[in-house]
Chains A and B, each alone.
Chain A
């Protein structure tokens, strides 16, 4: 196969043909400006999601029952911020500053996925939500890792290993709550499932199979359609959750003979509304990151 150095990357068709044949791009390769922007957008988005996603958990650190659990959750929070560090390097190599991304989020120019606009209302909810989130992230990363931009796929490989670790951590927490918790704890975990299952169904985005000529698909920045990822996740997580002893309240949740699942589709208008900053914790998340940017400026300056 030709290398990128032999191609005229200013010709869109030549670059697309290269990608179509399985070609990959590394940080030091020439690449079209549009591709560079598109990959930076995806990676920057995930970097922010890691940072903001961590705040859902770190705000529980001083409320956790038990020192060991506290240490376990601290490790997860450190991992999430580590993922952000790795992704920050990928975007910086593409010419985007990580600080700029934080500011774009705080200024409302970048809107994060629906899952980052909520908060956990009880400790049992943390366990089940973490389980649904981690399994969804793994399904999503297993797809993105087949993408065309090497620095991102390398970062994802490291991230996926740790997500799998967090997945087992979440199962352990759920099992502990279910086995040792009282009836309140169990009902809280069930409430958490009822709340987070629709949120995580929406996490994969609206159906996009009808949208033809998606540039990110052509460039293999995005690999699978949203509905396919959603199906993969449901297939994976439903039996796991049922084996814990919990039940899904969605009356439409059903597996068909052909292996596909049906379920109640999220209300996409509502999801859009949440993403615009109208979730129960949208403002809280923004405030936390804003405060960090201000409070930790001295540290950034000291180490920078």
Chain B
């Protein structure tokens, strides 16, 4: 058997919508991966498009520390200014 690769499969349910990850297939090349993905994941929903991408071509970071930058930067969060507004009103007794 030739070299096999794992491909992640993404489906776009309707034109204009974001692609959603639905699972994976194992195949020896891109075209076969596309056919397997079509057979396994699109059998009754008539999506507008699918993507397959070799898993080893996907870059991933999953260290939550990396995404904690907003921790001390409250002004990046949507509720921040509303909260300040409320506090100011309470302080001024209005």
Interface residues of A (CB under 8 A from B): 3, 5, 28, 78-79, 82, 85-86, 88-89, 92-93, 154-155, 158, 165, 300-301, 303-304
Contacts and interface: CB of A to CB of B under 8 A. Distances in A.
Contacts of A300: 1
A78 B40 CA distance: 9
B43 A5 contact: no
Contact of A82 (B4, B6, B39): B39
A301 B16 CA distance: 38
Contact of B62 (A28, A93, A304): A28
Contacts of A303: 27-28, 32
Contact residues on B (Cβ < 8 Å of other chain), bracket: 20 to 34
Contact of B40 (A5, A28, A82, A92): A82
A78 B41 CA distance: 12
A79 to B, nearest CB: 7
Nearest to B36: A85
Given A3-B64, A28-B60, A86 B23 contact: yes
Contact of B25 (A3, A78, A89, A165): A89
Interface string B19-37: 0001111111000100010
Given A3-B64, A154-B23, A85 B40 contact: yes
